[in-house]
Amino acid sequence: MREWASINGKLTPADQAQVSVYDSGFMQGVGLFETMRAYDGRVFRLNAHLARLTGAARQLGWSAIPPHDELRRAVEQVLDAVEQSDARVRLTVTTGSLRATESDTPRLTIVTTATPGIPYPDELYAKGATAVISKYRQSRADPTTGFKTTSYFSRLAALRIAHAAHAFEALWMTPENHLAEGSISNLFLVKDAELLTPSLETPVLPGITRAAVLEAAEGLGIPIVERGLSIDDLLAADEVFITNSLMEIVPIVRIEREPIATEKVGEITARLRECYADFVREECLSED
């Protein structure tokens, strides 16, 4: 099945897509991206994804801010082209060519791709997964922390080590030994019927799925605590799960060789997964 890309509004088969060798994303890793999931041809919470990307560009001091409407059109363009209603969509924006002049338009490079959605196996959600603690540390002194930048090697390196140990995810801690997040996910614990998660000031990425989970918990009357969390909190949790837009909510039942509680998917995790599925049905699958 053909995969499609849009580069600054021009639609092309993904295997034929090209950007400049002088592009700042290629040369210097200066870029932002969003990975999104489309259900029945609609991206779940697209506006939130676009707002996060444009907000990050402002906070990082980009001289040109990606136009919200142009980003939306680029996403819709590849979704219309892909031959499957459920898809994985990636939006990448860089600050453009290092050889650009003032007269060059556009100054930014905006790339979107859409590939048919390949769901994670049902067993992952039914039985849960293993996570390991990364040897690397996440510091607030790093100017890219808390942003979804294309400078992603450290995350992939930690994830590669986790996969070599037959684990699904690598969890990062801060230099102060506070839990932060996964290489590709946000982290949640459940203890005594409360939902715990590291605060955004840790700092961690303000995940779109993270926000949806907090909304779901509030609707279900589950108390929410955002604070600094330790490895002891993690190992003493009744339930642990991780989130991102593609995987949604994945239970974690082991930390390395240590089981979390009964080593089974917890009740609150299951309730939040049901609520998240309701959000998707209401926002993406219902008729207008």
Span 32-81, pLDDT tens digits: 999 999 999 999 999 999 999 999 999 999 999 999 999 999 999 999 99
**Measured distance CA(10)–CA(13) in Å, rounded:** 10
Q: Of the candidates 208, 125, 130, 120, which has an alpha carbon nearest to the alpha carbon of residue 163? A: 130
Cis peptide bond upstream of 259, omega within 30? no
- Per the CB < 8 A criterion, the answer to whether 49 and 42 are in contact is no
Query: Among 117-121, 214-218, 279-283, where is mean pLDDT lowest?
Result: 117-121
Q: What is the CA radius of gyration of the chain?
A: 19
Q: What is the pTM of this model?
A: 0.95
Q: State the pLDDT confidence band at 106, using cuts at 50, 70 and 90.
A: low
Residues in contact with 3: Cβ distance below 8 Å, sequence separation at least 6, in sequence order? 13, 14, 15, 82, 113, 114, 115, 116
DSSP 178-233: -EEEESSSEEEEEETTEEEE--TTTT----HHHHHHHHHHHHHT--EEE----HHH
Mean pLDDT score, 100-121: 83
Task: Give all domains of the chain, ordered by start, each with its CATH number.
Answer: 4-116 (3.30.470.10), 122-284 (3.20.10.10)
3-state DSSP call for residue 134?
strand
Q: State the pLDDT confidence band at 119, using cuts at 50, 70 and 90.
A: confident
- Burial code (b: 16+ CB inside 10 Å, e: under 16) for 48-63 equals bbbebbbebbeeeebe
Predicted local confidence at residue 2, as pLDDT: 77
Model confidence at 96: pLDDT above 60:
yes
Q: What is the pLDDT of residues 7-32, one digit of tens each?
A: 999 999 999 999 999 999 999 999 99
**Measured distance CA(131)–CA(255) in Å, rounded:** 5
CB atoms within 10 A of CB 32: 25
Q: What is the mean pLDDT of the chain?
A: 95
Beta strand 194-197 pairing with 10-13: unpaired
Q: State the pLDDT confidence band at 186, using cuts at 50, 70 and 90.
A: very high
**Measured distance CA(39)–CA(84) in Å, rounded:** 10
- DSSP classification of residue 272: H
Alpha-carbon 217 to chain mean position: 19
Predicted local confidence at residue 3, as pLDDT: 87
- Per the CB < 8 A criterion, the answer to whether 150 and 92 are in contact is yes
Predicted local confidence at residue 116, as pLDDT: 87
Mean pLDDT score, 254-261: 97
**Measured distance CA(102)–CA(242) in Å, rounded:** 44
Model confidence at 194: pLDDT above 70:
yes
Tokens encoding 27: 């040369």
Model confidence at 179: pLDDT above 60:
yes
Predicted local confidence at residue 13, as pLDDT: 93
> What's the burial of 104, exposed, middle or buried (CB within 10 Å: 0-12/13-18/19+)?
exposed
Which residue(s) pair with 23 in the sheet? 97
Predicted local confidence at residue 85, as pLDDT: 83
Alpha-helical (H) ranges within the chain are: 24-28, 46-59, 68-81, 122-127, 153-164, 208-220, 231-235, 267-280
- Per the CB < 8 A criterion, the answer to whether 125 and 265 are in contact is yes
Model confidence at 184: pLDDT above 60:
yes
Q: State the pLDDT confidence band at 117, using cuts at 50, 70 and 90.
A: confident
**Measured distance CA(285)–CA(44) in Å, rounded:** 10
Sheet holding 109-116, edge to edge: 10-13, 4-7, 109-116, 87-94, 31-39, 42-43
